[in-house]
Amino acid sequence: MSEVLTVDGLADQLSNYLDTPRINQVRRAYFYAEQAHEGQKRRSGEPYVTHPLAVASILAELRLDHQSLMAAMLHDVIEDTGIPKDALSEQFGDEVAELVDGVSKLTQIEFRTRAEAQAENFQKMTLAMAKDIRVILVKLADRLHNMRTLGPLPYEKRQRIANETLDIYAPIANRLGMHSLCTELEDLGFSSLYPMRSKYISKAVAKLRGSHQEIIEEIRGKLQQKLEDRGLPGRIVGREKHLNSIYNKMKFRQKSFHEIMDVYAFRIISDTEDNCYRILGAVHSMYKPLPGRFKDYIAMPKANGYQSLHTTLFGMHVNIEIQIRTEDMDQIANNGIAAHWMYKSDQSSLVEVNQKRIDRWVKGLMEMRERADDSLEFIEHVKVDLFPDEIYVFTPRGKILELPAGATPVDFAYAIHTDIGNACVACRINRNLGSLSQPLQSGQTVEIITAPGARPNPAWLSFVVTGKARSSIRHALKYQQKAESLELGKALLKRSLNGFGKKLAELSEGQIEAVVRHNQMPSFDDLLSEIGLGNRMAYLVARQLVMGEDVTTPAADGEVVEAPGTDASGRHAVTIRGTEGLLVKFASCCKPIPGDPVVGIMDSGRGMVIHSDTCRKIPSDAAMKGLLTHLKWAKNITDEFSVELRVELERQRGIIAEVANAVAMADGNIERINVEEQNARLSIVSLVVHVNGRRHLARVMRRIRNIRAATHITRVRH
């Protein structure tokens, strides 16, 4: 569809809300663009300038300010005609030039099918939005006109543009509250991707609408009469069902076409908030409301600023969906963030609230962008936040927070502040202690309990749903891993240097720099981190530092590397505290506990795994044995460790309870207990208990041994 537009026609459109000097500035931008694009044609054969004129006209329907309209006129000038940004600044001022530059940068790299390119460009878009949200409004209008005129383009390009529109641009329009623009983008994208399905649904809708016209008019008449009887001002409009929305409900909700279309939708627009609630009472007195279908988005607006009352009634043997809102709310529902400029003259408080919400969302995007390791991770987080079904929960002070459906207390903690999320250890839901992983429900009051020095748990990534929480946790874990790998790497290197009779402090800057250069690392800290991660051998780096040797490979086959300083006495052993975090893990095979003689095996890229020195999984060949790290336990460890015990018992009633009681009497905690095998006389019970060392374990085992029915007890090491 191609609109026949002229600049005079646009000027008439603008005279409804702009003064003459501003309209003349828009005209001047048009003539400048016309001259710049002289001789250029669109694929349809029309002069190129018809496109910027149409984009400006779309923004004029949204009643956008004159600078946005000027940027719309000039949005392709920098890219297509070689006119520099400075020239636009001289002609039209810095603000317009910045807007044009922002839109040009978004257009330069069109989203490609490759996910990386798409994500990279999405990052650019968020940057532009953060600087001036009008950049994205011009881009959305540009995309809408391109979608309206897709016809002449080759099939592959049409498919790519339509996919990109449904994936990226329509959700952004929705998140910015621009309902009208969003639904048109969705319908155009749908009809371009699935022309036959679109045609079929469109015909079916027209046919059904014709046959249902009488019922629609009858319901509208009854509603109108009710409002007049009660003296309530309100205009009633029918709501169209959009093709893409019908298709998605059929596809994803498994609803039939007639199920979807047998709902009659109306919107009642009134003058004040109070009258909206009165109208709600009036319609509920006419028809019975369906339970669970009432939503009050006036008291609790959606994240994009949308406000309205929603109710579904059952009357005249059909369901009737009704939305009730004020004129202001209707403008914001249709035009969202664009209403900010539309209402600038009277500074509507509704718009200010909407603006704050959008600013908060864009600020959240920028935080995620800073934390994400790469653009793909970033876009993954953002897509979550583009499609939220909100729940509303309260802070203990009564502040309302909106979160996506399925959000947990950890999401809530990060929504308050990143530091609160990182230090979160527990929560109270409606004043009772709750689980950090349970999904929250609307209306709950959530209180986060924090502890100094607490750190995010990697397990949180399996249940958080917001992009902000996910990116913050990953960022904190990466930082934690870096700090831990540095510390572990330094400890391992010091131990290896001790074996050569050297201390780290005795090495010169020159020695260190030469080894860093030789290992092709950016810095000494990075080299230490690589040792801590298990990607470099501490012994080889120590040898390079001490002897200046060119050691590039581990020992050749059959050659024994004698790693110095690893004697069993623990003279140069690395001390472990049992709370090492991400890079020191305790082997699940032998379950070592404080007091057990232990060794460490480096696991490439993942740090150190600690085994009991009698574990069968420890390498037995001499070459590999030299690469083990001998460890010693720090004193006063209070952490708990898992130990598996095997207890042989004479069968008698209540014996399992007696075992559990014996463990509790010795201050142990049972993690798991089960009866493995039994015959008429004996039961064999396997139990995993938490203890804080060998002495504590001995106490637990002694208590179990004292049970009269216990015949044998052993610690299990796989």
Point out the residues that are catalytic.
79-80
Give me the amino acid identity at 317.
H
Q: What is the DSSP string of 221-285?
A: HHHHHHHHHHT---EEEE-PPPHHHHHHHHHHS---HHHHHTEEEEEEEESSHHHHHHHHHHHHH
Give backbone dihedrals phi and psi of 147, rounded to 5 degrees, phi first.
-70, -35
Distance separating alpha carbons of residues 141 and 37, to the nearest angstrom: 19
Q: Is 285 exposed, middle or buried (0-12, 13-18, 19+ CB in 10 A)?
A: exposed
Interior CA angle at 315 toward 312 and 321, to 5°? 25
Closest CA to 129 of 471, 369, 350, 401: 369
List of residues 6+ apart from 22 with CB closer than 8 A: 14, 66
Q: How far is CA 697 from CA 338, 638, 676, in A?
A: 68, 13, 21
Distance separating alpha carbons of residues 502 and 482, to the nearest angstrom: 26
User: What six digits make up the tokens of 480?
Assistant: 């934690």
Helix (H) / strand (E) element for 422: namely helix 418-422
Runs of H (alpha helix) within 75-169 = 77-81, 85-92, 94-108, 115-131, 134-148, 155-164
Q: With contact defined as beta carbons under 8 Å apart, do 213 and 195 qualify?
A: no
Tell me how far the alpha carbon of residue 410 is from its chain's centroid: 13
Tell me how far the alpha carbon of residue 642 is from its chain's centroid: 34
Give backbone dihedrals phi and psi of 436, rounded to 5 degrees, phi first.
-70, -20
Exposure letters 637-676 (e unless 16+ CB within 10 A, then b)? beebbebbbebebeeeeebeebbeebbeebebeeeebeee
Q: CB atoms < 10 A from the CB of 69, how many?
A: 28
